[in-house]
């Protein structure tokens, strides 16, 4: 395989297609929505920041008049030292006031911005927590991370300085234009001629800048998605010695990210020189035309000096408005992506008046249940069964036959496409989701261990449980032995996903966690696969304790582990083809018989 073919293959291998450019024109509605996050602060931080802004704007607007018109044209011209002293003291006092106002403006606007960012991130995270499994099926963890971190970060500048500076600059701009016209309408008109040219150029830049920042976000999202996957899957990568391919792909997305940044910042940087150019042209007009006006005595030197001050102040807010506009565009691109998530509604949601079931007996019924993950194929097709409270039922069938889907529907991770799932005779759509899930525990083969101590990981099943209750649960499922042998016992720190623990140990921890949660219904998905015989014996013992007095659904490929089940459902292509206990199904000599025989033969061969 040549290098080119290799590159194509690598490019095709990692596909992150979920993030697309959301391209809408500048949207005032969205802007208001973003600004609504300032609402909690309209009574405290916002007015304080506004006050500081108004004070500094007034000082900046009044000072040039005092310096030019009054100091030059009256005090100096008439040699009035008393007036000069008074004016200089007032001007100095005003600058001190402006300094104080500015310090507070920075302090308060920073506080305001940080608070808004905190609130927005909290809102987004809380919302994402409530979203259904389908949402996570369609997106990589990395791309979700980018929205919660990077996109919100990019709004930080807008809220810490942008919004408030915008007000300050508007005030300055309006004030300066009014003062310029008062001082000399002819000179003002001559200078303002350049403004429309400037606006024309900036409008064409606007769209390009906005697109560039959106592209940056997309590239970052792709980079994060790959990074996340590359780290999570490092063991597989290393075992297949695919490190070079991974590095090559990373290099590709990293370069794309680098280029899109460079592109965006280059376009961004075009704004300031443009304003500076206009500033230079304005100054040239001032000098040339202003000198003529002084010569024919239309304006005084003092007015000319005030004018020069104001002209400097005129371009400054315009230049800053350009920057704020850029921040706004960046913010818009990010907020579109943030609001897309916030507007995402959980597909599985509570009924209007959900039933708060506090204690379930655990009878499960499926009536003509159909389900499809996508429109292309059905995962379950007219499935009906009843599991009585306290029964243990095993689901068996070929891979992809729909076993996990049944488990997903009982916990309401997805809603049925048609038909009904009932618990204790009540449609689960009418039961409060929180109550429903609090009575159901799902034990997965790949137990998720959170970073923290072992004791806290077990306590995840019931945050209110005491240390003694946690230890008791661990003892009951036979996890206490190995935990005691760990360096710090129950206080041993384990990293995310519990990489330092064996599969069997992780499973025992999850059993203890489940026992502590004390659910009415337990779903064990492949819980006894891939462990050695000794651990399996331990786990079988633990299971007996765990399942005692509860309704249990076991999904297991190893048929030896489910012989004791009260009932076995045999699935094929999303339908229940056979059901009965082990002896009955063996007598039927159907699919189950075939599966058992095949496994038996495999063991013999092995």
Q: Does 562 bind ligand ATP (CB under 6 A)?
A: no
What residues pair up with 554 in beta bridges, in sequence order?
Answer: 394, 524
Segment interacting with ligand ATP (CB under 6 A) among 143-151, 198-206, 396-404, 500-508: 396-404
Write the CA distances from 274 to 209, 278, 319, 595, integer angstroms.
14, 6, 9, 76
How many angstroms from the chain centroid is the CA of residue 474?
Answer: 35
Residue 410: name the closest of 446, 382, 381, 371 by CA.
371
Q: Which of 165, 405, 447, 528 touches ligand ATP (CB under 6 A)? A: 405
**Contacts (CB under 6 A) with ligand ATP, residues 132-171:** 137
Q: Which is nearer to ligand ATP, 162 or 402 (CB)?
A: 402
Q: Name the minimum Å distance from CB 364 to ligand ATP.
A: 16
Q: Does 404 bind ligand ATP (CB under 6 A)?
A: yes
Q: Name the minimum Å distance from CB 574 to ligand ATP.
A: 7
Q: For residue 73, what are the contacts with CB-CB under 8 A and spacing of at least 6? A: 300, 301, 302, 303
Region of 413 on the Ramachandran plot (φ > 0 left; ψ -120 to 50 alpha; else beta)? alpha
Q: Does 379 bind ligand ATP (CB under 6 A)?
A: yes
Q: Does 326 bind ligand ATP (CB under 6 A)?
A: no
Contact by Cβ (8 Å): 582, 550: no
Q: Does 513 bind ligand ATP (CB under 6 A)?
A: no
Q: Name the minimum Å distance from CB 463 to ligand ATP.
A: 29
Q: Which of 358, 399, 487, 533 touches ligand ATP (CB under 6 A)? A: 399
Q: Name the minimum Å distance from CB 525 to ligand ATP.
A: 7
How many residues of this chain bind ligand ATP (CB under 6 A)?
12
What residues pair up with 383 in beta bridges, in sequence order?
Answer: 369
Q: Which of 221, 323, 392, 401 touches ligand ATP (CB under 6 A)? A: 401
Enclosing H/E stretch for 384: strand 380-387
Segment interacting with ligand ATP (CB under 6 A) among 239-247, 262-270, 398-406, 434-442: 398-406
Measure the CA dihedral 245/247/249/254, to 10°.
Answer: -170
Taking the CA atoms of the chain, what radius of gyration do you get in angstroms? 35
d(C-alpha 605, C-alpha 305), whole Å: 100
d(C-alpha 458, C-alpha 518), whole Å: 12
Q: Which is nearer to ligand ATP, 45 or 396 (CB)?
A: 396
Region of 25 on the Ramachandran plot (φ > 0 left; ψ -120 to 50 alpha; else beta)? beta
Q: Which is nearer to ligand ATP, 132 or 462 (CB)?
A: 132
Q: Name the minimum Å distance from CB 577 to ligand ATP.
A: 13
Q: Does 373 bind ligand ATP (CB under 6 A)?
A: yes
Contact by Cβ (8 Å): 337, 152: no
Q: Which of 64, 290, 397, 519 touches ligand ATP (CB under 6 A)? A: 397
Enclosing H/E stretch for 547: helix 533-547
Q: Residue 584 corresponds to which tokens in the numbers above?
A: 């009955």
The string over 484-514, giving b where at least 16 C-beta atoms fall within 10 Å of a residue's C-beta and e elsewhere, is eebeeebebebeeebeebebbbbbbbbbbbb
Write the CA distances from 17 to 20, 21, 151, integer angstroms.
7, 11, 18
Residue 343: name the closest of 545, 534, 124 by CA.
124
Q: Which is nearer to ligand ATP, 246 or 405 (CB)?
A: 405
Segment interacting with ligand ATP (CB under 6 A) among 119-127, 297-305, 399-407, 588-596: 399-407
Segment interacting with ligand ATP (CB under 6 A) among 5-13, 15-23, 65-73, 394-402: 394-402
Q: Which is nearer to ligand ATP, 61 or 395 (CB)?
A: 395
d(C-alpha 523, C-alpha 442), whole Å: 5
Q: Which is nearer to ligand ATP, 403 or 506 (CB)?
A: 403
Q: Name the minimum Å distance from CB 208 to ligand ATP.
A: 38
Q: Name the minimum Å distance from CB 403 to ligand ATP.
A: 4
Q: Name the minimum Å distance from CB 595 to ligand ATP.
A: 12
Segment interacting with ligand ATP (CB under 6 A) among 149-157, 347-355, 395-403, 534-542: 395-403
**Contacts (CB under 6 A) with ligand ATP, residues 78-137:** 137
Q: Which is nearer to ligand ATP, 52 or 407 (CB)?
A: 407
Q: Does 237 bind ligand ATP (CB under 6 A)?
A: no
Look-up: residue for tokens 């019931």? Answer: 462
Enclosing H/E stretch for 250: helix 243-269
Q: Note the residues at the interface with ligand ATP (CB under 6 A).
A: 137, 373-374, 379, 397, 399-405
């Amino acid at each position: 395989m040549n290098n080119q073919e290799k590159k194509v293959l690598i490019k095709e291998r990692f596909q992150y297609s979920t993030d697309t450019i959301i391209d809408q024109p500048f949207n005032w509605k969205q802007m208001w929505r973003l600004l609504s996050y300032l609402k909690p602060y309209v009574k405290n931080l916002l007015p304080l920041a506004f006050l500081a802004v108004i004070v500094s704007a007034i000082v900046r607007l009044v000072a040039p008049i005092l310096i030019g018109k009054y100091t030059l044209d009256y005090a100096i011209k008439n040699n009035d030292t008393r007036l000069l002293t008074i004016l200089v003291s007032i001007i100095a006092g005003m600058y001190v006031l402006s300094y104080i106002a500015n310090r507070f403006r920075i302090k308060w606007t920073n506080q305001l911005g940080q608070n808004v960012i905190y609130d927005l991130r909290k809102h987004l995270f809380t919302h994402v927590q409530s979203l259904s499994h389908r949402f996570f099926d369609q997106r990589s963890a990395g791309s979700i991370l980018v929205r919660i971190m990077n996109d919100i970060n990019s709004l930080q500048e807008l809220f810490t300085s942008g919004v408030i500076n915008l007000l300050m600059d508007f005030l300055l701009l309006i004030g300066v234009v009014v003062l310029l016209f008062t001082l000399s309408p002819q000179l003002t008109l001559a200078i303002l001629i350049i403004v429309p040219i400037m606006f024309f150029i900036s409008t064409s830049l606007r769209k390009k800048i906005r697109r560039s920042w959106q592209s940056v976000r997309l590239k970052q999202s792709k980079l994060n998605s790959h990074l996340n996957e590359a780290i999570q899957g490092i063991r597989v990568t290393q075992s297949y010695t695919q490190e070079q391919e991974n590095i090559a792909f990373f290099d590709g997305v990293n370069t794309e990210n680098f280029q899109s940044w460079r592109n965006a910042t280059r376009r961004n940087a075009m704004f300031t020189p443009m304003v500076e150019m206009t500033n230079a042209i304005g100054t040239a007009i001032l000098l040339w035309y202003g000198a003529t006006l002084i010569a024919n005595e239309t304006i005084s030197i003092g007015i000319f000096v005030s004018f020069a001050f104001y002209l400097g102040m005129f371009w400054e807010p315009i230049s800053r408005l350009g920057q704020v506009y850029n921040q706004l565009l960046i913010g818009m691109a990010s907020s579109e992506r943030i609001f897309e998530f916030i507007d995402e509604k959980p597909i599985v949601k509570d009924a209007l008046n959900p039933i708060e079931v506090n204690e379930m007996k655990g009878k499960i019924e499926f009536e003509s249940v159909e389900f499809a993950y996508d429109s292309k194929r059905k995962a379950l097709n007219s499935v009906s069964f009843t599991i009585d409270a306290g029964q243990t039922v095993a689901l068996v069938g070929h891979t992809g036959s729909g076993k996990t889907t049944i488990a997903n529907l009982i916990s309401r991770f997805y809603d049925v496409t048609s038909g009904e799932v009932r618990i204790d005779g009540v449609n689960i759509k009418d039961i409060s989701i929180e109550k429903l899930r609090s009575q159901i525990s799902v034990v997965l083969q790949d137990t998720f261990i959170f970073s923290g101590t072992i004791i806290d990981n077990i306590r995840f099943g019931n945050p209110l449980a005491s240390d003694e209750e946690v230890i008791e649960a661990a003892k009951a499922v036979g996890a206490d032995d190995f935990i005691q042998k760990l360096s710090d016992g129950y206080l041993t720190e384990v990293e995310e996903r519990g990489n330092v623990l064996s599969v069997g140990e992780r499973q025992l921890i999850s059993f203890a966690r489940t026992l502590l949660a004390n659910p009415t219904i337990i779903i064990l998905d492949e819980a006894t696969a891939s462990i050695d015989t000794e651990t399996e014996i331990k786990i079988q013992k633990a299971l007996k304790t765990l399942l005692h007095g509860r309704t249990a659904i076991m999904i297991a490929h190893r048929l030896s582990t489910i012989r004791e089940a009260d009932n076995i459902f045999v699935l094929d292509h999303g339908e229940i083809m056979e059901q009965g206990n082990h002896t009955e199904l063996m007598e039927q000599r159907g699919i189950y018989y075939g599966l058992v025989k095949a496994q038996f033969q495999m063991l013999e061969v092995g």
